[in-house]
Amino acid sequence: MLNRTHIAVMLVAMMIVIGYQVVAAAPPPEGSANGQDYIVQADDWLSKLADKFYGDPLAYQAIVEATNAKAVADTTYTQITDPDVIEVGQRLFIPDNLQAVADLTTLPQESPVVAEDPAQAQTVGSEEVAMINQDIPAPTAEQLALLADLDIKGVPPELNNEVWLNSEPLKLADLHGKVVIVEFWTFGCINCIHVIPSLREWHTKYADDGLVIIGVHTPEFGYEQDLDNVKEALVRLDVPYAVAIDNDWQTWRSYKKPFNQRYWPSKYFIDKAGNVRHIHIGEGRYDQQEEIIQALLAEDI
């Protein structure tokens, strides 16, 4: 006959066995693996996928590193040597060390921007680059100190874009003697939209003094490649300065090697001698950038 001690021991043992079986039989929690596979589809970009899965387009490097690590031992993955180039059908590995924010099946189709008035979706107009105002005063002591801090970062690659809006095609070689801002942007980028008012203001204030602003429109999503959508956006966002269409990413890639061009928006401040003197990524510091513009305009080269 079993006493209470024996019964208690047996109950504890049974609970341990049952608990072990429950734990052993339980499926692993969702997302507990290191990540998930993804097959590249049409119109996919790494920054687009990073935005899809992590809510941050700049987090694409995590996908690159994870995929390349997998490719070392598994040939079904392909090493990503250029983050700007992925192919349809390519197998990627999406790590889950960043919290995914969407379903991992297929990407949603973007809704194209439609112009309410097709007549407005035309080139806003063309304008010639203004001649430098010879009456610009000499640099102040503060501007000279600022200029001394603006080291030459390199010579910007030439612009070879065939399609331009708001302007005839421009060449940097023809703009020596002027101060040029080359800005990489796309109309679907909220940060780029936030930057436009400052660029518009500088264009209005300093064009007659020799400032030329060129927006290089490099699309991130498929609907941003449509020229009519770009034209409509220029009207809607009130963009008065020259815009070069970079649908093939040729200009973006030409700036990637010397300047590590990777982000929207990015601004390159080019002096009268044709050298890049300052690079600003993202929003903000508009007062500082305007001081740089004023100093470069006053610089005697």
Domains of the chain: 35-95 (3.10.350.10), 130-298 (3.40.30.10)
- How far from 239 is each of 136, 168, 278, 282, CA to CA, in Å? 26, 15, 23, 18
What pLDDT is stored for residue 23 in this prediction?
37
Report the pLDDT value the prediction gives residue 16, as an integer from 0 to 100.
47
Residue 203 neighbours by CB under 8 Å, 6+ apart: 211, 213, 240, 241
- Closest by alpha carbon to 153, among 250, 261, 299, 245? 261
Strand partners, 242: 214
Region label for 128, one of left (φ > 0), alpha (ψ between -120 and 50) or beta (otherwise):
beta
Q: E-strand spans in 118-210?
A: 164-165, 179-185
Q: Specify whether the CB–CB gap between 159 and 171 falls below 8 A.
A: yes
Region class of 175: left (phi > 0), else alpha (psi between -120 and 50), else beta: alpha
Q: What pLDDT shows up at residue 22? A: 38
Residue 3: its pLDDT value, please? 55
Residue showing tokens 């490099």: 218
Instruction: List alpha helices for 74-189, DSSP H.
Output: 141-149
Q: Which pair of structure tokens corresponds to residue 136?
A: 């610009």
CB proximity list for 122: less than 8 A, separation 6 or greater: 231
Q: What is the pTM of this model?
A: 0.60
DSSP 115: -
Positions in the chain whose pLDDT score sits under 50: 2, 7, 9, 12, 16-32, 99-131, 133
Where do the H-state alpha helices sit in the chain?
4-25, 46-54, 60-73, 141-149, 190-206, 227-236, 250-259, 286-298
- Determine contact, residues 259/279, Cβ cutoff 8 Å: yes
pLDDT at 32: 41
* pLDDT at position 105: 30
Q: Residue 241's pLDDT is what?
A: 98
